[in-house]
Amino acid sequence: MQTWSLVSLCVLLGLAVRWGVSLNSYSGAGKTPMFGDYEAQRHWQEVTYNLPVQEWYFNTTKNDLNYWGLDYPPLTAYHSLICAFVYNGVSLGFALWGVLALGLGWDALGSVAFCLALNYKQMELYHALPFFCYLLGKSVKLGLMGRGLFLLVRLALTVLVTFALCWLPFLSDPGQAMEVVRRIFPVARGLFEDKVANTWCSLNVLIKIRSILSSDSQMYLSFACTLLAVLPSCVRLLTKPTFWQFKLALANSSLAFFLFSYQVHEKSILLAALPACLLLNDLPLMAIWFLHASTFSMLPLFLKDGLLVPFVVTSLGFLYFSIYLLSALERCSEEELRLGAYHKLLFCLPKLDLAWIVRWKFYVSVSVMAGLSIAAVALAPPPHLPDLFPVLVSIASFSHFLGTFIYFNIVQFSEPPSRKSQKKNN
Amino acid sequence: MAAADSSWFPALSLGVSLFKCLFISAYHSTDFEVHRNWLAITHSLPLDRWYHENSSEWTLDYPPLFAWFELALSQGARLLHPPMLLLSNLNYSSPEAVLYQRLTVICTDLLFLYAVRECCRCVQEQKGSRDVLNQPSFVLAVLLLWNFGLLIVDHIHFQYNGFLFGVLLLSMAKHMQSLHLQGALLFAVLLNLKHIFLYVAPAYGVYLLRSYCFTQDNSDGSVRWRSFSFLRLAALGGIVLSVCFLSFGPFILMGQLPQVLSRLFPFKRGLCHAYWAPNVWALYNGLDKTLTLLGVRLQLLQEAELPKASMTGGLVQEFQHTALPSVTPPVTLLCTVLSILPALVSLWRRPRSAQSFLRCLLLCSLGSFLFGWHVHEKAVLLAILPLSLLAVQNREDAGIFLLLSTTGHYSLFPLLFTCAELPIKVLLMLMFTLYSFSALRHLHRGPLLLPLETLYLGGLLPLSLCCDVLLPLSPWGARLPFLPLLATSLYCSLGIIYCFLRLYCSMLRGGAERPKQP
């Protein structure tokens, strides 16, 4: 079958699945953010057309089928869109355009796209550092005395102009601009709200940080931790500005922000899910595992909005089809999973078959997630612990996210496999 | 795909089953209440009241075996959600009831999945092509499993067609594998589940007589009269009669057979359904209407003499034609018989072959669709599904399939008239049409449609635009609400009649060009 028809079919299927999910909305016939969804879907279509040339070095047939899997992650990411939570898709879409443009080498366009994303939703700051470090690193590599400087200046101008255009109505009065900033960053709201799978909420189960520290010190603490968490990845990207490093840095940065930042919502995991989708082809098992965990982390939200059936259907579908189409469970030798660095870390236990361990961890984790989901639906929590299941879900998700964060960091710091072994794997 | 060759079927089946689960909360038609009522009837009432019960307008009008099936389903309902089994709970559709009934449709579709797998086994594989996506069996599996009509009618509109077509396809597969007794048994069961399959019974009858009761052919392909086997005929008869007895037996013993038959064949319902199925009678009605209007304009007819209500009122009742002679059930029967007779004769005279049987079955179902009394538009699926089997093996049939399936599926659009389901039906239609066109073209290497046919199909787009968008918003929209349905019906009937004629031509032209079948 021709490429264009396969891709169109995937897009249509993705749209149909999304519309089917939206028919299940809580309020009966909720408004579907069609524009946002469609925009993101169109981006995926572009991704499948263009990125193959860049990075994925497979032949065409395998390529297209792999990207059928890609149509599901946005769906797991956009479940939350159906709870009348509109237009997440647009900012994520713009960010994806940015990544795509950078992948193709169109730096200025990529910057514009990302600035638009940033101005659409301030959450995109999660991705801002990698963009900055990548472009800066690229300019430095080109030589700060020549083309590098030219590139840097061009990018700076592009960013400034884009921001100015977006903020034009507010620039006349600095007071207004400050007000906007204050509204976008509501620092008075506390370290976290509700049950979210990040460090502070999980820590709160043991130590009540919110009551111990003052609001200001909470802010400083989270700021410091986030910075520390994101620093290694960004510095590495600055020194080695390749596209592969960029993708990993995106994942690491968004995870770092999610885990340690201030006033994080569960839906912010979508910002980490986006780079994970980009890594589906290279690290299929880990990416699938993470994406599954990210959907699972939103289970309490889905239950609240009556979206159990779409959750079950899409989780099962995603898990089955991504593993099937990407052959994730076959492609998990030690080399493919980049576990070499782990060997060095665990030097005291040299004889471990890490690939086997990882596979079994995957099975156990999926079973635990399934078990918790069933328990959350079927069982009533004990009266003295009314939030038992949301807390359990968030702690389980937190441990997954932390593990993924550490893993992606280690992978970013290890050497990429040689070309020869990559060709062998293809 | 790095997966093994045989793993695509479970993947496709799981995918489509999960996909169906997404439509659990979508719009469902009155057929949902029909089946809920039947669950209640079979569960709450004793056997002798089943076909007499009429407190609800949705009386039991399927054969007894289906009633037994509903009884079995009601046991599950009893365990999960008893309130839905109360007869007095008319139009009861709590979330649990909807979930249960939708899940029963999805689960009974397992039979359909099994049948599709059997059919895929009967399809010859292309030599030398390792690409799974391009294998006839894969294409057939997708065309059947993801059939737009079945998804829309079964899983949104709500019916049990998947399960019934599963039995039909299984029966056809058995015949293709030369397991004729099993095929006959399955068909007998099917007839007792839904009597609409009487449409294709003549094909079965002639084929079984020709290819099973007469054990040998002459060298020129004609029947060898001396090879008639009474034993085989007795076996067939025994199977059919015992199934019918199992199904109708209790009612015959209670003397209720006339009542049951009157429920099964309600001739009071009028020549056409509320929405005209795109058949010959739709064109006839259209012609009648046009002539009436012309007659009134030219003052050949008095407007006062015309009946007040018209067939376009959207109601299911008996009406008379005005300008043209009225059509009665015997007339439709005669027309149907005349339309399928040449096909049956051709089947008789050909050497035994499952493909000829398939073709004849197709022609019987299309002929009955075109000329039958009170035909539902959903009956077009009875032609589209079997044609899929021929389409993946034969170039000409592929072209006819594209035309018939697109037209037939489009004619199902009025079944889903709510706003929320509009994107779904458009998306699914696009998906299926896109897939069928690209896969079949790739399979048969080249274009499959004549320019005129492509033009006709292209005309569906402006038609849909007019009917779904322009007409409702225009000033005539309020005055003539039936106009979009009429237009759809008339336009599609042209395509379906054309496909019928083309299929007839290919059948009568003989088997010389056809590839040898195992």
Mean pLDDT of A181-203: 75
CA dist., res. B271 & res. B489, Å (int): 14
For residues A46 and A67, what is the distance between their CA atoms, to the nearest angstrom? 11
Q: Are residues A176 and A251 in the same domain?
A: no
A230 plus A157 within the same structural domain:
no
Considering Cα of A234, then A240, then A241, then A242, what sign does the dihedral take? negative
Per the prediction, chain A carries an average pLDDT of 76
Would you say residue A23 lies in a domain? no
d(CA A267, CA A82): 12
- Does residue A7 belong to any structural domain of this protein? no
Q: Which two tokens stand for residue B29?
A: 């038609």
- Within 8 A by CB and 6+ apart from A71, the residues are A10, A11, A13, A14, A17, A41, A44
Which contiguous run of DSSP H or E holds residue A148? helix A147-171
Say which DSSP state B271 is in. S
Q: How far apart (Å, rounded) are the C-alpha atoms in residues B186 and A222?
A: 69
* Euclidean distance between CA atoms A389 and B143, whole angstroms: 43
Q: Are A74 and A290 in contact (CB under 8 A)?
A: no
**For A2, which of B3, B427, B438 is closest by C-beta distance?**
B438
pLDDT digits 0-9 by tens, B259-307: 888 888 876 667 777 678 888 988 988 888 888 888 888 877 666 666 5
Question: Does A193 lie in the same domain as A96?
Answer: no
Residue at which a domain ends, from A137, A170, A185: A185
A207 with A351, same domain: the answer is yes
Q: What is the pLDDT of residue B24?
A: 86
Within-domain flag for A20 = no
Mutate to test the interface with A, among B5, B16, B22, B429 (most CBs of A within 10 A): B22
Q: For residue range B162-218, what is the model confidence (pLDDT) as tens digits?
A: 899 999 999 999 999 989 999 999 999 999 999 889 889 999 999 998 888 888 777
A17 closest CA partner among A55, A73, A63: A73
Residue A3 lies in a domain: no
A193 and A178 belong to one structural domain: no
pLDDT digits (tens, 9 = 90+) for B24-62: 888 888 888 888 888 888 888 888 888 888 888 888 889
Closest A-chain CA to B429: A12
In chain A, which residues have their Cβ closer than 8 Å to the Cβ of B22?
A: 17, 20-21, 23-24, 309-310, 313
Residue A284 CA: distances (Å) to CA of A24, A56, A200, B155, B408: 30, 12, 29, 33, 42
| Interface predicted TM-score (ipTM) over 0.85 | no
Final residue of a structural domain among A150, A168, A185: A185
Neighbours of B340 (CB within 10 A): 26
Quote the CA–CA distance of B127 and B191 in Å, as a whole number: 38
Separation of alpha carbons B379 and B389, rounded Å: 18
* Residue B48 identity: D
pLDDT value for A35: 30
Q: Determine, yes or no, domain membership for A18.
A: no
Same domain for A148 and A43, yes or no, is yes
Provide the shortest C-alpha distance from residue A226 to chain B (in Å).
39
pLDDT tens digits, residue range B411-439?
998 888 887 788 888 899 999 999 999 99
**B176-186 tens-digit pLDDT:** 998 999 999 99
Task: Note the pLDDT of residue B336.
Answer: 93
d(C-alpha B165, C-alpha B65), whole Å = 15
Kindly report the backbone phi and psi dihedral angles of residue B217, in degrees, each rounded to the nearest multiple of 5, phi listed first: -110, 155
Pair A123, A251 in one domain: no
Please list the alpha-helical segments (H only) found in B194-279. 201-208, 230-253, 257-264
Q: Provide φ and ψ at A15, rounded to 5°.
A: -65, -45
State chain B's mean pLDDT as an integer: 85
CB < 8 Å to A309, chain B: 21-22, 24-25, 99
Closest CA to A418 of A340, A329, A306, A309: A340
**Domain assignment present for A57:** yes
Residue A418: the pLDDT is 53
What domain range includes position A264? 187-426
Q: What is the Rg, in whole angstroms, of the alpha carbon atoms belonging to chain B?
A: 23
What mean pLDDT is predicted for residues A105-110?
88
Distances in Å between the Cα of B440 and the Cα atoms of B123, B436, B457 are 15, 6, 16
Query: What is the predicted pLDDT for the residue at B140?
Result: 93
Among all chains, which residue has been given the structure tokens 């015949």?
B175
Question: Tokens at residue B381, please?
Answer: 């699926």
Q: Are residues A405 and A377 in the same domain?
A: yes
Verify whether the Cβ–Cβ distance B11 to A320 is below 8 Å. yes
Cα distance from A132 to chain B (closest Cα, Å)?
Answer: 37
Tokens of B448: 């499959």
What is the predicted pLDDT for the residue at B477? 72
In whole angstroms, what is the distance from residue A297 CA to residue A401 CA? Answer: 10
Residue after which a domain boundary falls, among A122, A157, A185: A185
What domain count does chain A have?
A: 2
Q: Do A111 and A203 belong together in one domain?
A: no
Across B320-332, average pLDDT: 81
Distance from the Cα of A373 to chain B's closest Cα (Å) equals 18
Chain A contact set for B25 (CB, 8 A): 23-24, 309
As a whole number of angstroms, the distance between CA A426 and CA B220 comes to 56
- Tens digits of per-residue pLDDT, A376-424? 888 888 888 888 888 899 999 999 999 999 999 988 888 765 544 455 5
**DSSP code for A24:** T
| A16, part of any domain | no
Residues A221 and A302 in one domain: yes
**A35 vs B100 pLDDT, higher one:** B100
Distance (Å) from the C-alpha of residue B423 to the closest C-alpha of chain A? 8
Confidence of residue A46 (pLDDT cuts 50, 70, 90): very low
Q: At what angle do helices A60-78 and A284-297 cross, to 10 degrees?
A: 20
Do A134 and A224 lie in a common domain? no
**pLDDT tens across A197-248, in order?**
888 888 888 888 777 878 788 888 888 999 999 999 999 998 888 888 999 9
B56-78 burial, b for 16+ CB within 10 Å, e for fewer?
bebbbbbbbbbbbbbbebbeebe
Which residue of A3, A4, A11, A12 to mutate against B (max B Cβ within 10 Å)? A12
A313 in contact with chain B, both atoms CB, cutoff 8 A? yes
Residues in chain B with CB shorter than 8 Å from the CB of A327 are 1-3
A13 close to B (CB below 8 A): yes
Nearest to B1 among A8, A24, A325 (CB): A325
Residue from A247, A333, A261, A319 nearest A290 by CA: A319
How far is A404 from chain B, CA to nearest CA, in Å?
26
On the 0-12 / 13-18 / 19+ scale of CB atoms within 10 A, A424 is: exposed
For residue range B368-410, list pLDDT tens digits in order: 999 988 888 889 999 999 999 999 988 999 999 999 999 999 9
Region B123-127 average pLDDT: 77
- Cα separation, B354 vs B516, in Å, equals 11
For A305-326, what is the mean pLDDT? 86
Q: Does A33 touch chain B (CB under 8 A)?
A: no
pLDDT reported for residue B464: 87
Residues A117, A179 contacting (CB under 8 angstroms): no
Kindly provide the b/e burial profile for residues B18-45, where b requires at least 16 CB atoms within 10 angstroms of the residue's own CB: bbbbbbbbbbbbebbbbbbbbbbbbbee
Question: What integer is the mean pLDDT of B323-348?
Answer: 88
Contact A317 B18 (CB under 8 A): yes
pLDDT in tens, A241-294: 888 899 999 999 999 999 988 878 888 888 899 899 888 888 888 889 999 999
A35 near B CB under 8 A: no
Please state, in angstroms and rounded to a whole number, the distance separating the CA atoms of residues A410 and B226. 83
Question: What's at B20, amino acid-wise?
Answer: K
The DSSP secondary structure of B456-505, one letter per residue, reads HHHTHHHHHHIIIIIHHHSTHHHH-TTHHHHHHHHHHHHHHHHHHHHHHH
Q: Do the domain assignments include residue A67?
A: yes
A201 and A144 co-located in one domain: no
Mean pLDDT along residues B113-141 = 85
Q: Which residue has the higher pLDDT, A21 or A86?
A: A21
When CB atoms are compared, the residue of B1, B99, B434 closest to A5 is B434
Of the listed ranges A4-8, A420-424, B136-140, the least confidently predicted one is A420-424
Nearest CA-CA distance, residue B443 and chain A, Å: 9
Question: Which residues in chain B touch residue A71, judged by CB atoms under 8 angstroms apart?
Answer: none
Best to test chain A binding among B5, B14, B18 (most A CBs inside 10 Å):
B18
Helix (H, G, I), strand (E, B) or coil at B272: strand
Interface touch B22/A23, C-beta < 8 Å: yes
* More confident site: A190 or B401: B401
